[in-house]
Chains A and B, each alone.
Chain A
Amino acid sequence: MPQRYLRIFCAEAEAHLTSLRSGLLVLEKNPASTNLLHELLRNAHTLKGAALMVGVSDIATITDKVEEQLKRMASGAEPIDDAAIDLLFKGIDAITLISTALSRGAEPQLDVKRFLAEYRVNRSGRASRRETREGSCGQLSETARAAFRTFESLQQLIAEMGVKKQRLEGRLSRIKELARWVAPNSEAVLGRFRLELEDDLLYLDYLIQELHDKACVCPLDNVRDFDFAGAPTGRDTCHA
C-alpha cells in the first residue's frame, strides 16, 4: 500500500476517533440523542470502510464490532448506559493504539485476537442482562426533536435560495434594459446573459427540490406547533 494512502488514512482515522470520543461523552449524558448515535455510526462505518480500503484489517475488524454495538444501541436492542459506553471506549482506545503505531511506522502492542475475545465476552455478559428502553413515540407530542444540523441545513438552503432569487431578479432587470439599448449586432451579450440565467434557474430548481425533500423527512405528523426560539446547546436541540 503506498505510503501516501496510509498517511491520508491515519489523519482521517484520527479525526473519526476524536469525533467518536467526544460524541460518546455527550451520548453518555444524553442517551436519548438518536441523531448523535447515527452520527457516531457514520463515523464508525466510514472508518471501517477506509481501513478496509488501505488493508488495515485489525482496525476494520475492531471498528466493525464498535459499529455493530452502536447499531444495536440505535435499534434499542442494547441499552445506552455507562457499561456500554465504557465498552465502546475500549474499542476506540484499541483502534487508536493501532492507528498511532501505524502513523509512526511501528508495530502495535495489542493482541487483537485476545482483545476481540474479551470484547465479545463483555458484550455477551451485557446481553444476558439486557434491558428494554421505554419508547416515547405513538402519542400526540408537544415537542419535536430533530437534528439541529437538519434545521441548520434547511436554513442554509433557504438563505441560498433567497440570494439566488435576488440575483435572478437583478439580471432580469438588466436584461430588460439591455434589450432596449443593445445594437442588433450585439446579440452575443444577450446570449451570454441568457446562459447565465439558465444556469441560475437550473440550480434554483435543484434547491427547491432539495428543500422539499428535506422538509418531507421532518417528523411533523404528531406535532402541534413549532417554536424555533432558543440557541442550540448541543448536537440535537430544536425543541418545539
Chain B
Amino acid sequence: MGKNILIIDDSEVVLAMAKDVLEEAGYQVDTATNGIEANRYIFSRNKPNLIIMDIMMPMLDGNKKAKILKENELSRDIPILLLSSKSDLEMRSLARESGADGYILKPFSPVQMTSMVRKCLQATGSMAALSAQ
C-alpha cells in the first residue's frame, strides 16, 4: 500500500493539482483546507506519513501549525513540507523556525513535487531505521 500523504491548503486548485500528481505517483492522498480540519487525519489511528502544508491559511498559518505539530509528541514524528509562493529565502527561514522538514515553492512541477516528497520520506525512513537500531 502506498504511503499516506495529507495536503493542507486553502486553495482548491492547488489541492486538486497536488493530489493528482501524488496519486499518479502511487501515494494515498487526503486533503484539508485548514489546520483544524486537518486534525481529523493527523490525530487518528491512521496518521499520515507526510504532511504538505501551505503557509498562509485561515485560522492558523501553516508555519505556526507546523511548530505546534512538532512540539506535540503525538505528531512530532510526522515529516512536514511547507508549501508557498513566498521567496526561497523566506521559506528557508520559516521552515527552520517552525521545525518543518523542508519546503516546496509554488508553482511546482509534478517532478519537483514527487521528488521532494520521495526525498523527505526516504530521509524520515532512514532516521526511523537508525533510531530503531
Residues of A within 8 A of B (CB): 4-5, 8-9, 11-12, 39, 41-42, 45-46, 48-50, 52-55, 149, 153, 195, 199, 202-203, 205-206, 209-210, 213-214, 217
Contact = CB atoms under 8 A, between A and B. Distances in A.
**Dominant SS among interface residues on chain A:** helix
Contacts of A203: 39, 43
Specify which of A49, A55, A213 lies most central, judged by the most chain B CB atoms within 10 Å of its CB: A49
A46 B44 contact: no
Interface in B67-102: 68, 71-72, 74-75, 84-85
Contacts of B56: 41-42, 45-46
A151 B124 CA distance: 37
Contacts of A11: 12
B39 A206 contact: yes
Nearest to A149: B59
Given A42-B57, A48-B85, A53 B74 contact: no
Contacts of A45: 56, 85
Contacts of A41: 56
Interface of B: 10-14, 16-17, 36, 39, 42-45, 54, 56-60, 64, 68, 71-72, 74-75, 84-85, 106-108
Interface centre among A4, A46, A55, A149 (most CB of B within 10 A): A46
B11 A202 contact: no
Contacts of A46: 10-11, 54, 56
B13 A42 contact: no
Contacts of B108: 53
A5 B107 contact: no
Given A49-B106, A53-B13, A210-B36, 19 more contacts: A8-B13, A8-B16, A12-B12, A42-B56, A45-B85, A46-B54, A46-B56, A49-B14, A49-B84, A149-B59, A153-B36, A199-B45, A202-B44, A202-B74, A206-B43, A206-B72, A206-B74, A206-B75, A209-B71
B13 A52 contact: no
Contacts of B57: 42
Contacts of B17: 5, 53
Contacts of A214: 60
A205 B71 CA distance: 13
Given A41-B56, A42-B58, A53 B43 contact: no
Contacts of A4: 16
B98 to A, nearest CB: 13
Nearest to A213: B68
Nearest to B43: A206
A53 B107 contact: yes
Given A5-B16, A9-B13, A53 B44 contact: no
